[in-house]
């Protein structure tokens, strides 16, 4: 069909009329096509029987009462009693199935329900009689079986059975002899004739230097146990006088000294003797304390001098690290005059010591113990350790014996210790020009204020001691004597200035 096709019998006037009826939606010269024929697919017999109209029905709906000849009549059965009770009308009701919740008649069943425990959820467990009764069976008596009948079914003669037993016994004896022969070469590894010999005592090889020092010092070093309520701690101490005076660190016994109800301090000697101790005096600025015990025949430690201590010499640390009494470790003096600030939680110690530094292993519990030179003389009291791991892999620090002797002697005589001070607070400063202790503030009417020291002054020397840090300034002042003037060198606005300061008692 082409675009110039025209319906037969249609002239130009009729086309114009139709164009005027369609309006502008259809062009005047547009062709008009015939309707397409309706396509009706072929329906197979099975689909026709399943979805087609029943026989004799011509309309869309079957007439009322119509029924397929092939379909059986539907019989309406009585509903299930349970469903009738649940969804049916109450007895006597005909108009509605609505039940009044406030006026529900009592339903009396026509007959009692069957006594079936499976239908009654409240029924208890019951045991019924068996469906069938087992019949009693009587077996005729039988004779007992012999070993030959059990093992061989009675098919082996007694003589053959005895032969087999003898053969098994012979095989066992031969196997045992072979095993003994095979394992006979073990005698080359073990022997009952070897006796080990030990030598000792016949020849005097002499004690090592450390062993001699340990023998001399261990009886003079004690373990200290402090108990405050349920809390406890341990430390060490050194017997410094036969009258029962023992020196230790202040932080070892400060918990008992500062407790409101007091604490209990016990001293354990090298032979295991335990006795209570009393506090003679404490020095929180040097972390030292003196105890006194009532004991006789004490071994007194020999005290050395700080001026004899040299870097590199052998030393031995004696004490009770980690609660292990009579422990000896060995090392050397690795540095002298090392400023070390001491303070910690649970202690009122606030000290800066001019420490002896050592690489001898020192742990918690060594505090208050002795640092001894190779002649057995005490050259310091072990006080602190510096370790990144918290263990003995680090450095230990001890209070020099000269400071220990001065403080202990004063505490035994007076019960208290006073130190010199000049009345300044400083902080460490390090720059390209100098390093020292920069004055942060000056106390009014203090020795430093009277000498003209002001803030921002950098103290670089006190007496003969060079000052490179704030802690070293504290050490340098502690070395001075109360009431005796000392020359203090400082830097003020780039100029070196010397002033005389007279330390006062704290």
Question: Is position 251 annotated as part of the catalytic site?
Answer: yes
Q: Which of 367, 373, 403, 471 is catalytic?
A: 367
Res 129: pLDDT:
66
Res 336: pLDDT:
94
C-alpha distances in Å from residue 463, one per residue of 426, 466, 499: 17, 8, 11
Residue 330 shares a structural domain with residue 439: no
Residue 329 shares a structural domain with residue 469: no
Query: Which position has the token pair 């090298």?
Result: 270
Average pLDDT rounded to a whole number, residues 447-461: 93
Among 397, 417, 437, which residue terminates a domain? 417
Structural domain containing residue 450 = 420-505
Residue 479 shares a structural domain with residue 411: no
Angstrom distance (rounded) from CA 188 to CA 324? 46
Res 9: pLDDT:
47
Residue 451 shares a structural domain with residue 396: no
Q: Which of 287, 359, 457, 471 is catalytic?
A: 287
144 pLDDT band, cuts 50/70/90, is confident
CATH number of the domain residue 320 falls in? 2.40.10.120
Task: Assess if residue 25 is contained within a domain.
Answer: no
Average pLDDT rounded to a whole number, residues 126-139: 66
Among candidate residues 492, 433, 491, 499, the one with its CA nearest the CA of residue 463: 499
Residue 278 shares a structural domain with residue 411: yes
**Could you report the per-residue pLDDT of 423-440, keeping only the tens digit for each?**
999 999 998 778 899 999
Question: Is position 367 annotated as part of the catalytic site?
Answer: yes
Average pLDDT rounded to a whole number, residues 357-374: 92
Residue 279 shares a structural domain with residue 389: yes
Mean pLDDT of the chain: 82
Question: Is position 418 annotated as part of the catalytic site?
Answer: no
Q: Which of 251, 254, 320, 471 is catalytic?
A: 251
**Could you report the per-residue pLDDT of 37-95, keeping only the tens digit for each?**
777 778 888 888 788 877 777 777 656 655 555 555 666 778 888 888 888 777 777 76
Residue 474 shares a structural domain with residue 359: no
Sign of torsion over alpha carbons 497, 503, 504, 505: positive
Res 501: pLDDT:
95
pTM: 0.62
Task: Assess if residue 50 is contained within a domain.
Answer: no
Residue 382 shares a structural domain with residue 304: yes
Task: Assess if residue 128 is contained within a domain.
Answer: no
Contact 381, 416 (CB under 8 A): no
User: Quick one: 19 exposed, middle or buried, by C-beta within 10 A (0-12, 13-18, 19+)?
Assistant: middle
Res 132: pLDDT:
63
Q: Which of 13-27, 341-355, 367-381 has the lowest mean pLDDT?
A: 13-27
Res 4: pLDDT:
44
Residue 325 shares a structural domain with residue 436: no
Residue 469 shares a structural domain with residue 324: no
Task: Assess if residue 93 is contained within a domain.
Answer: no
């Amino acid at each position: 069909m082409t675009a110039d096709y025209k319906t037969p019998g249609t002239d130009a006037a009729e086309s114009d009329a139709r164009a005027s009826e369609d309006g502008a939606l259809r062009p005047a010269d547009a062709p008009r096509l015939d309707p397409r024929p309706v396509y009706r697919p072929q329906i197979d017999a099975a689909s026709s029987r399943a979805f087609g109209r029943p026989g004799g029905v011509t309309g869309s709906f079957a007439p009322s009462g119509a029924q397929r000849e092939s379909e059986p009549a539907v019989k309406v059965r009585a509903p299930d009693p349970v469903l009738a009770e649940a969804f049916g009308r109450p007895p006597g009701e005909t108009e509605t199935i609505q039940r009044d919740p406030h006026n529900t008649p009592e339903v009396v069943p026509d007959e009692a329900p069957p006594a079936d425990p499976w239908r009654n959820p409240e029924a208890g467990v019951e045991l019924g009689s068996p469906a069938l009764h087992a019949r009693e069976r009587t077996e005729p008596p039988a004779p007992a079986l012999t070993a030959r009948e059990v093992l061989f079914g009675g098919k082996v003669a007694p003589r053959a059975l005895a032969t087999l037993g003898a053969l098994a016994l012979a095989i066992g004896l031969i196997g045992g002899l072979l095993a003994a022969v095979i394992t006979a070469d073990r005698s080359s590894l073990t022997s009952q004739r070897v006796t080990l010999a030990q030598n000792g005592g016949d020849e005097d090889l002499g004690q090592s230097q450390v062993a001699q020092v340990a023998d001399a010092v261990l009886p003079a070093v004690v373990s200290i146990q402090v108990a405050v309520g349920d809390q406890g701690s341990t430390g060490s101490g050194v017997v410094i006088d036969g009258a029962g005076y023992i020196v230790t660190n202040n932080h070892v016994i400060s918990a008992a000294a500062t407790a409101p109800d007091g604490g209990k301090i016990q001293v354990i000697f090298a032979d295991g003797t335990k006795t209570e101790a009393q506090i003679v005096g404490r020095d929180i600025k040097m972390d030292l304390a003196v105890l006194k015990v009532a004991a006789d025949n004490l071994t007194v430690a020999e005290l050395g001098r700080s001026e004899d201590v040299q870097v590199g010499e052998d030393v031995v640390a004696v004490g009770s690290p980690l609660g292990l009494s009579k422990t000896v470790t060995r090392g050397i003096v690795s540095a002298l005059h090392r400023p070390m600030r001491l303070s910690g939680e649970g202690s009122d110690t606030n000290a800066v010591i001019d420490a002896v530094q050592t690489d001898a292993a020192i742990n918690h519990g060594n505090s208050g113990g002795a640092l001894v030179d190779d002649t057995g003389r005490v050259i310091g009291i072990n006080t602190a350790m510096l370790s990144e791991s918290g263990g003995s892999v680090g450095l230990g620090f001890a209070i020099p014996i000269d400071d220990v002797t001065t403080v202990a002697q004063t505490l035994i005589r007076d019960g208290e210790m006073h130190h010199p001070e000049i009345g300044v607070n400083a902080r460490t400063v390090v720059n390209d020009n100098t390093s020292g202790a920069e004055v942060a503030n000056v106390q009014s009417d203090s020795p430093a204020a009277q000498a003209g020291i002001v803030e921002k002054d950098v103290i670089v020397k006190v007496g003969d001691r060079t000052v490179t840090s704030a802690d070293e300034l504290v050490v340098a002042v502690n070395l001075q004597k109360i009431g005796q003037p000392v020359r203090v060198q400082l830097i003020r606005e780039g100029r070196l200035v010397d002033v005389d300061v007279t330390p006062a008692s704290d």
